[in-house]
Amino acid sequence: MDRVAIVGGGPAGYVAAITAAHRGKQVTLIEQKKLGGTCLNEGCMPTKSLLESAATYDKVKHASDYGIKGPVDEMRIEWGQVQARKNQIVHQLVKGIDYLLKKHKIELLEGTASFQSAHELLVQTERGQQTIEANRIIIATGSEPTPLPFAPFDREWVISSEQAMSLPIQPESMIIVGGGVIGCEFASIYGRMGTKVTIIEMADRLLFGEDHDICKVLMEELKRQGVEIYPSTVIKEMQRDRKQVVVERDGQVEVLTGDYVLVAIGRKPRLQEIGLERIGVDFTSRGITVNEHMQTTIPHIYACGDVIGGIQLAHVAFHEGSVAAKHLCGEPIQVRYEAVPRCIYTSPEIATVGLTETQARENYEHVRIGEYPFAANGKALIANETIGKVKVVVEPEYEAIVGLTIVGPHATELIAQGTLMVHNELTLDSLESFIAAHPTVSEAVHEAVLQALGQAVHV
């Protein structure tokens, strides 16, 4: 029987299932919780719904800037409705995936799976156990939040991102441990909604992997939104009974108080109870070992998504799931990571593809940079969103665009232009005569290219 079994129904798993079904495979998908995985149920989509509510609230408060008068002071957040809207969106999207599985005649089993042999999975469901035999198996079990070693999640005071997006009431105060993507996004949500937010970060700035000038823009805006930021800070003690966190910064000890402590220091692959040891697949605590086709050390078993410990982004999981399914169907395909867009849905948004300026200067002797500020963009001025800029990074030999970073309005949408540039190895001269629509925020990307060419007009 030419069956493909997939463990995990998140972005990597369900995309792999549909891709294999497209190619005539009999597919069984096993999911222990809800279709869509962390991204749809506990990550990407629910946080973006909350961010949209926060952005709307923030804009309404500044309605007078647009010539609209009214009792703005009477505006308030109905937390229950915010949560209901988020839950409805998630529910609708989960139903959409369920529809796609049925459309492609994919068998869905709700339960947990573990390897009994290299071709057999034992699935535990509410109705009992059953054994699934398959010629090919894909592991896509995702990841889970990493706890602090000295303060595990209790779901009451010390919480993960999963609980942070579904709190029963809007907290008056929140301490966020970790100034990475997840921590900054939640700071943007709660800070703009009126919660007193404090970020604790061990590094000297937020979003340490991004360029310093980009991080500086975000840090200044978060502070303007009322977020307190404690860089270069370590936690000395956490007192649950008092809801206090004792920290040390610059040799000084301070006591911070918060209704919740959101720990956002990263995520780890979900590897336990799959039975990998039983079949001899190579893995470490950082993830399952795979090659460029997503094959594990047992060639008919594949792994993709967060469980391999690579780039933990849903769109990367989509790509990896597609590659795994196509390869097991006989197509000569491999993953490509050269042009992966990285999006941060803060206010302002940040998006990067390819190399940052810092990375490029480490790889090349000379680097050309083109920048264009949104303050010079007419559409951004109309929208009252002039914070930030576009930065184009160009390598010296062929003048190919090797990176693009945007901090500012609609950055996560505009980055698609940069992704096409980096993916297709476009050069500056190939874009010189490109016509950008006006007035648009997106023309800022072309203006940055022109600035790199020394031909800037509007700056």
Active site residues: 438
For the chain, the C-alpha Rg in angstroms (whole number) is: 24
How many other C-beta atoms are found inside a 10 Å radius of the C-beta of residue 50?
23
Q: Tokens 């990176």 correspond to what residue? A: 403
Region of 5 on the Ramachandran plot (φ > 0 left; ψ -120 to 50 alpha; else beta) = beta
**What six digits make up the tokens of 319?**
């790509």
Q: What is the per-residue DSSP string for 319-369?
A: HHHHHHHHHHTT-------TT--EEE-SSSEEEEEE--HHHHHHH-SS-EE
Backbone angles phi, psi at 262, to 5 degrees: -90, 115
**What six digits make up the tokens of 131?**
């054994």
Strands 233-239 and 244-249: antiparallel
**CA pair distance 218, 190, nearest whole angstrom:** 15
Are 193 and 54 in contact by the 8 Å Cβ rule? The answer is yes
**CA pair distance 274, 114, nearest whole angstrom:** 4
**CA pair distance 415, 342, nearest whole angstrom:** 9
Residue 342's nearest CA partner among 455, 227, 214 is 214
